[in-house]
């Protein structure tokens, strides 16, 4: 398979690694910064190509920030002879853009629900126009130990409001609200929350800013915190029970491979 990855950042490199390891792909990277594409090719393998080159590929995978997804899809769809894929993290708008730009080709939207350093894990997948090329790519993901979770664009984007935007906002809020704590005066709950907050704050802030802009939902976290802060004892008990019930209703994230 001849594969072009547009966007040579973390997720683009991850896709390239999967393609090389499981598909033995003829891999190329293109990026708005040519030096980044060159670095990705040196790190992962393959080669760097100009962003505006005319070379065509069996498949093109768009791995740019969410805010640039639609324009990148429109710009590079013609370079895909058989399949167009995105791994941008949002699905409704990219899927619509791929339908418009590549109506006669295979199309899939993928969202690895982890940082590349934490792979393998769950990969959300919308098989908008399936075929042999995208099927091979999904098989490659599974071969690398990932669980492919098929979904729809709306279902995915709605879920990300809770799974990403609200969760990240809550983790950041805990850090911003915390005071210094003497050594030894912590609890297991505090340590667990601190570990989650450290995982969030130890990455690229632009990635998290993109998530907040794309999905929103932080206002719900603020509203919930305000309800807790204003509650009397009886109201707090009710909120406590409600939180437990809501938590019981959430899926545990495990299940059969799809």
Element (H, E) at 183: none
* Rounded Cα distance, 233 and 75, in Å: 58
Structural domain count, the chain: 2
Q: Give the pLDDT band (50/70/90) at residue 253.
A: low
pTM: 0.89
What's the chain's average pLDDT?
A: 94
Task: Note whether 67 and 43 are same-domain residues.
Answer: yes
Domain boundaries, position 167: 155-249
Is 255 within a domain?
no
Is 257 within a domain?
no
Mean pLDDT of 25-32: 96
Q: Which residues lie below 8 Å from residue 108, measured CB to CB, with a gap of 6+?
A: 83, 85, 125, 126, 127, 128, 129, 130, 134, 137, 138
Task: Note whether 12 and 137 are same-domain residues.
Answer: yes
The string of pLDDT tens digits covering residues 49-83 is 999 999 999 999 999 999 999 999 999 999 999 99
Output the CA torsion 195→200→202→205 (10° steps). Answer: -160
> Domain ends where: 97, 119, 151?
151
Task: Note whether 144 and 27 are same-domain residues.
Answer: yes
The string of pLDDT tens digits covering residues 175-213 is 999 999 999 999 999 999 999 999 899 888 999 999 999
The string of pLDDT tens digits covering residues 126-161 is 999 999 999 999 999 999 999 999 999 999 999 999
> Domain ends where: 130, 151, 172?
151
- Enumerate the H helices of 144-232 as residue ranges: 153-160, 167-177, 188-201, 205-215, 218-230
């Amino acid at each position: 398979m001849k594969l072009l990855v547009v966007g040579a950042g973390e997720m683009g490199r991850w896709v390239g690694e999967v393609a090389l390891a499981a598909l033995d792909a003829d891999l190329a990277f293109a990026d708005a910064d040519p030096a980044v594409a060159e670095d990705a090719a040196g790190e992962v393998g393959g080669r760097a190509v100009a962003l505006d080159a005319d070379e065509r590929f069996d498949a093109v995978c768009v791995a740019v920030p969410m805010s640039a997804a639609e324009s990148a899809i429109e710009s590079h769809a013609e370079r895909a002879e058989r399949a167009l894929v995105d791994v941008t993290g949002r699905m409704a708008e990219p899927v619509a853009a791929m339908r418009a730009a590549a109506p006669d080709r295979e199309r899939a939207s993928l969202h690895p629900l982890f940082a590349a350093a934490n792979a393998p894990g769950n990969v959300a997948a919308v098989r908008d126009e399936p075929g042999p090329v995208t099927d091979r790519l999904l098989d490659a993901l599974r071969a690398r130990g990932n669980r492919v979770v098929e979904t729809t664009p709306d279902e995915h984007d709605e879920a990300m409001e809770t799974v990403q935007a609200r969760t990240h906002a809550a983790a950041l809020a805990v850090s911003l609200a915390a005071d210094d704590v003497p050594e030894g005066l912590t609890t297991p709950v505090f340590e667990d929350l601190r570990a989650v907050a450290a995982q969030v704050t130890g990455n690229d802030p632009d990635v998290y800013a993109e998530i907040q802009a794309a999905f929103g939902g932080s206002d719900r976290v603020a509203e919930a915190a305000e309800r807790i802060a204003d509650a009397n004892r009886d109201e707090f008990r009710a909120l406590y029970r409600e939180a437990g019930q809501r938590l019981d209703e959430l899926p545990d994230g495990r299940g059969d491979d799809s």
